[in-house]
Structure 1
Amino acid sequence: MTSTNVHTDRRLGWVLLAAAIAQIVAPIVQTVADVSQPGDDSESLLITPAGWAFSIWSLIYLLALAHAVVTLWRGDGVGSRRFLIDLIALYVGATVWIAVSAVAISWLTFLVLAVMTCFAIDAARIAASARLRDPAWITWLARAASGVYAGWVSAAVFLNLGTGAIELDIADPDIRGWQFALLVGAVVFALGANLLMPRSPGYAAAVVWALIGIIAAVAGESTTALVIAIVAIVLLVAQTAWQSTRALTD
């Protein structure tokens, strides 16, 4: 991964910082305006994580802001121009997602989040494929910022898919079978995406966090969902450990 793009065009770094700040300001404005919050319609889904799990957004925003500041401070985007463009598109998408959620149209928030997921995974993949730079913490910051973001939206997009299906009367929230299938689909997707990120454990960590939130929510409510979530955590942890071991020998 080269750093010439930011050195030759610092405007890209400024755009990255502006986008990172915009996605932080957007939910604050939404709260002050007292309008619908992302996920407000997800309460009818069995597989919705416990409320405290969504606090991960604070970490996501902090990492994004720190990486953007370092990009300008060091004059180094820790990656190709594509990496930075992916992040900018992701952060702008997050701002749009907040705005769209204000009109409480679940299927539309799903579409926005689906696009965000594509950009997030591509950015995390690029960062994960990078060799450690000097100093190494810059590369790890890039991996953390993109990986954690990608992991969380990878889980969230399936939740939004469920709420969108309910809103369009495609699925019945009282029927659990399709929700179990949705959870399995989210796990399979996460395992596949995690294969692209052998040096970015932040992706798996964010997905595991979402699964822990689901475990807390379904405990005593659904043994099936509980088992799926626990097995998924075991598989993700094992896969990440195996990939990390192999990456050390590369």
Structure 2
Amino acid sequence: MSARPLGRSLAVLLAVVVAIAVPAIQMSQHIGLSAAEFSGQGDQTLRVAGYAFSIWGLIYLGLAAYALYQLTAARETPTLRAVAWPSVVAITGCGAWILASAFNQHWLSVAIIVISAAGMVAGLSRARADAPSPAFRDKLLIVWPLSLLAGWLTIASAVNILTVLTAQGLIGPDLSWAVIGIAAVLLVGGFIGWRLRSRLYLAPIVWGLMGVYVAQQVDKPIAAWLAAGAALLLTLMAAATLRPKR
């Protein structure tokens, strides 16, 4: 193992600072629209209960630990190397999305969140290929925090796309579109979770689907139960088929 590049580690640290500081500054200074106000323009098609977004506290904690590990690790590891730059893209995207939504840039928000999700999944896939059995320290401080982020960005991408399409008047808030969104989350999330063999990737998707169940019980009870069913299927898949490596 070689020494880790300092510049790359500083880039990870800066990305995490941006991801955590931007929403705090945006909220405290009342810059533009809040994330809730932005989503409220088109969340009639598929909505997630507000409590579900508390998962960001756990994600931010994990990202802070990951950034410190990138900065202080004495030696390079294959996992550290594989995820570093993809994580910079994905984590920076978290802060950039807040700015895009604050300034009501619908399509820019979609591009940012989809690129962030895809980049993080690609980094984790590469890490799994380069280091199928990473040390526990790498799992705890790299793989697990970034898997949580990737999973949440996956379901958030689907919700964001439906929100923007609805806000733009390109689709109506019909049950069929809600069903398509839930099915997409189930298929894409299930496929990626299986490829990554990652329960930590699937956990935030299940959490988000249950948030859909809670939010849509009155307005779209069929969609609510479909979301709960999708969450159950992903949970069963994780329990039955995924090895507890990550």
Question: Fold-level match, TM-score > 0.5?
Answer: yes
Query: Deviation of residue 133 (structure 1)?
Result: 4.1
Q: Describe how 1:13-52 pairs up with structure 2 within 5 A.
A: 13-34=9-30, 35-43=32-40, 44-52=43-51
Corresponding residue for residue 70 of structure 1: 69
Corresponding residue for residue 212 of structure 2: 214
| Distance in structure 2 (CA, Å) of the matches to 1:214 and 1:149 | 18
| Distance in structure 1 (CA, Å) of the matches to 2:47 and 2:37 | 11
Query: Deviation of residue 8 (structure 1)?
Result: 4.2
Query: Deviation of residue 124 (structure 1)?
Result: 2.8
| Distance in structure 1 (CA, Å) of the matches to 2:36 and 2:119 | 21
Corresponding residue for residue 221 of structure 2: 223
Runs (5+) with no aligned partner, structure 2:
none
Give TM-score scaled by structure 1 length. 0.88
Runs of 4+ in 1 over 6 A off after TM superposition: none
Amino acid at match of 1:11: G
RMSD: 2.0
Is the 2:45–2:162 Cα contact (8 Å) retained in structure 1? Answer: no
Identity of aligned residues (%): 22
SS of equivalent residue, structure 1 residue 47: coil
Corresponding residue for residue 150 of structure 2: 150
Runs (5+) with no aligned partner, structure 1:
none
| Distance in structure 2 (CA, Å) of the matches to 1:242 and 1:77 | 34
Q: Write out per-residue CA displacement over residues 168-212 of structure 1, whole angstroms, 9 at most, x where no aligned residue.
A: 221123x222122122112211111111211x2111101011011
| Distance in structure 1 (CA, Å) of the matches to 2:116 and 2:175 | 27
Is the 1:128–1:143 Cα contact (8 Å) retained in structure 2? Answer: no
| Distance in structure 2 (CA, Å) of the matches to 1:86 and 1:77 | 16
| Structure 1 stretch displaced more, 123-132 or 20-29 | 123-132
Amino acid at match of 1:70: Y
Query: Deviation of residue 12 (structure 1)?
Result: 0.9
SS of equivalent residue, structure 1 residue 195: helix
Is the 2:18–2:95 Cα contact (8 Å) retained in structure 1? Answer: yes
Distance 1:243 1:39, change over 3 A: farther
Q: Describe how 1:103-122 pairs up with structure 2 within 5 A.
A: 103-122=103-122
| Structure 1 stretch displaced more, 231-240 or 42-51 | 42-51
Is the 1:46–1:218 Cα contact (8 Å) retained in structure 2? Answer: no
| Distance in structure 2 (CA, Å) of the matches to 1:220 and 1:82 | 44
Corresponding residue for residue 235 of structure 1: 233
Corresponding residue for residue 203 of structure 2: 205
Query: Deviation of residue 138 (structure 1)?
Result: 2.7
